[in-house]
Amino acid sequence: MWHKRDDMIVHETDPYNAEPPRLGLHDPITTPDSFYVRNHGPVPENDPGDWAVTVDGLVDESASFTPERLREEFTHHTLTATMQCAGNRRAGFLPVRDIPGEDPWGPGATSTAPWTGARLCDVLRSVGVADGARHVEFTASDVSDLADPPQAYGGSIPLAKALSSEVLLAWAMNSEPLPLVHGAPVRVVVPGYVGARSVKWLRGITVRADPSENYFQATAYRVLPPEADPDHAGPGDGISLGSVALNCDILSPEEHEHVPGGPVRVTGYAYAGDDRTVARMDVSGDDGRTWHQAELDAAASPWAWQHWEALVPVTGAGSHVLMARAWDSTGACQPESPRALWNPKGYVNNSWARVEVTVE
């Protein structure tokens, strides 16, 4: 049904949820067999021959687009964009406090690919956006029993974002047809937003006055205060997630790797969602006492992560913590510790990256 690298870290098999090891993230473009997968229900067994995406709600005229019609009627665009799960780096919260019922995603719940498809703004303009429109809802065909009662996965984005040039209805990834596990035949790609809004197996687009009432928009994917009981959270509780917060992680060395003393080559990724960019990257080899600026690679697009590299002195046999922190284009830095950021669903751990290594 899909092919992933053998060393994929599988958090769940049903629904399939998996992230690549750090090794799978070393390149600016993630290969499809390394690309992380976050599912909320079984991958639907779709018959592409029967597929259509309806567009309705606050539009001048409702319409229905088969994948062929999307390809034929709209200009094709390819954009390299990073997808990042709101739960990326959740495992960093676990030393603070356990997070029952949620997968312990490491630094691999993020990946980058060139996506090809039609611009959502072109599709919306073709049907006409009516007065009062403020949000655009996406509905998928995968049904999740995380919602009670079970519900098709869905979510929404503000109309202004939907009308931006970067949001795609994509049918290809890495110049190949979109794999089923990544949302074939058609998925949404919302660059700069948490992955949850990039709805796969897209069946419906509804232009609305208000955000979607779908469970995954109204109730899930929200940062609750630490004292909240997520089992009793209601629609509207907490902070609804949209743009991705500034984040980074270390890709090499690996956690618990043995390294020779002296300068250690430290690499990683950094990403700032939406209109922010990564402006500086600091790396420390002495538990944060001194910091060295990393070389930042150019981003493949304004919507893609950046890889970085630094040579950092690590001296003295024994255990050392390598640390990394990103600064964004507002001059703001990531928060230091996951302690203050812990929340009941484990979202947005954007604290400084830490990897423990042993100097031989």
Q: Which stretch binds its own copies (CB under 8 A): 10-18, 95-103, 128-136, 274-282?
A: 274-282
Rule CB under 8 A: choose which of 7, 287, 332, 356 binds its own copies.
Answer: 332
CB of 334 to its own copies, least distance (A): 7
Backbone angles phi, psi at 120, to 5 degrees: -60, -35
Site for its own copies in 50-69 (CB under 8 A): none
Taking CB under 8 A as the rule, which mask of x and - marks residues 84-103 in contact with its own copies? --x-----------------
Which residues are CB-contacts of 72 (< 8 A; sequence separation ≥ 6)?
Answer: none
Q: Tell me whether residue 194 or residue 314 sits nearer to its own copies (CB atom).
A: 194
Which residues are CB-contacts of 21 (< 8 A; sequence separation ≥ 6)?
Answer: 7, 8, 9, 108
Q: Tell me whether residue 279 or residue 321 sits nearer to its own copies (CB atom).
A: 279
Does the protein bind its own copies through residue 269 (CB under 8 A)?
no
How far apart (Å, rounded) are the C-alpha atoms in residues 211 and 151? 17
How far apart (Å, rounded) are the C-alpha atoms in residues 250 and 309? 9
CB of 149 to its own copies, least distance (A): 27
CB of 239 to its own copies, least distance (A): 4
Site for its own copies in 176-195 (CB under 8 A): none
Does the protein bind its own copies through residue 282 (CB under 8 A)?
yes
For its own copies (CB under 8 A), the number of binding residues is 39
Q: Is the dihedral of CA 351, 106, 299, 217 positive or negative?
A: negative
Rule CB under 8 A: choose which of 154, 191, 242, 344 binds its own copies.
Answer: 242
Rule CB under 8 A: choose which of 12, 256, 329, 356 binds its own copies.
Answer: 329
Does the protein bind its own copies through residue 331 (CB under 8 A)?
yes
CB of 142 to its own copies, least distance (A): 24
Which residues are CB-contacts of 163 (< 8 A; sequence separation ≥ 6)?
Answer: 120, 121, 124, 129
Q: Is the dihedral of CA 151, 157, 162, 168 positive or negative?
A: negative
- Containing H/E element for 24? none
Does the protein bind its own copies through residue 273 (CB under 8 A)?
yes
Tell me if residue 67 falls in helix, strand or coil: helix
- Containing H/E element for 190? none
CB of 246 to its own copies, least distance (A): 7
Does the protein bind its own copies through residue 279 (CB under 8 A)?
yes
How far apart (Å, rounded) are the C-alpha atoms in residues 142 and 41? 6
Residues 85 and 195: beta-carbon distance below 8 Å:
yes
Q: Give contact residues for its own copies (rule: CB under 8 A).
A: 86, 223, 225-226, 239-246, 273-276, 279-280, 282, 288, 291, 293, 325, 327-337, 340-341, 347-348, 350
